[in-house]
Amino acid sequence: MFDRNSRFLAVAFLLGSLGAAQAADILSAPEIVAAAPASRFYVRGDVSYDFSADLDVTQRIVDPTGTLVSGFSRLDLDEGFDGGVGIGYQATDWLRTDATFHYWKDELTTTATDSLICAGDPACNALGGAGDLEAYELMANVYADLGTFAGFTPYVGGGLGAVHLSYDDTSISLDAGGGCDVSDPCGGPADPVGSIGFKGENSWRFAYALNAGVAYNMTQSLALDVGYRYLNVDGGDTYSFDGASIGAPGSKILGEDDGFDRHTIQLGLRYKFG
């Protein structure tokens, strides 16, 4: 039988062995490294379908005797596609912001209905012309993400910015007599036809946008974005005509549109860095 001293030595030996084993486990444990925080910056690319829009134009005829103002024509902007890119920042889980650039160029048809262009001659009809309207959009946007459900994140947002519009040069045809109808289209043999060439103007306009849509998280970094955008653009100069070109120095025709609204369906991708 073991005496008391022997039992004490055995217990001490066992405790020492357990302590050494635990120390070895601690020394061999893997090092814990804190994960780097994911980047909140993202880039985006979008393709949009823009619906048609109408623009009303006011005409001013300026000559040495004074200025005459009247409604002149309507501009019909065709539907078309545009492309956009942007860079953004996810400030919180529900708030993000981005800066975007869009470009589009669509056909514009001019329908002139006012007889001012014919110098008050009731037998003269101003017909119309066509050209393109080119636009560059720069916008700063803010969005509220409304929570993620099964990978889908609905959002609403808005933006402020500027749009640079460039009107093509165009011409307005004149039917100098006889009018226009089904049996006698404008410009028939009995109706001498002329035209006035208008210079297209370009200008920066203030604009704002409203957005709504939903994003789907395809991966942790890549999201598919489908949305609707409403764009409102302020009015500005459209066309001008210098009377000096027809021997009437000091006379001018100036056109100004009252701005327009445009509705857009947008499909894009957002890629988050990190």
pLDDT per residue over 132-150, tens digit each? 999 999 999 999 999 999 9
* DSSP H or E stretch at residue 15: helix 4-28
Residue 185 class from Cβ within 10 Å (0-12 exposed, 13-18 middle, 19+ buried)? exposed
**pLDDT given at position 196:** 72
Q: Phi and psi at residue 209, in whole multiples of 5°? A: -135, 150
Q: How many CB atoms lie within 10 A of CB 259?
A: 18
Note the CATH architecture for domain 40-272.
Beta Barrel (2.40)
C-alpha dihedral, 261 to 263 to 267 to 271, nearest 10°: 30
Amino acid 15 reads L
Digit-coded pLDDT (tens) for 3-23: 655 555 555 554 555 555 554
CA distance 270 to 264: 18
The model carries a pTM of 0.74
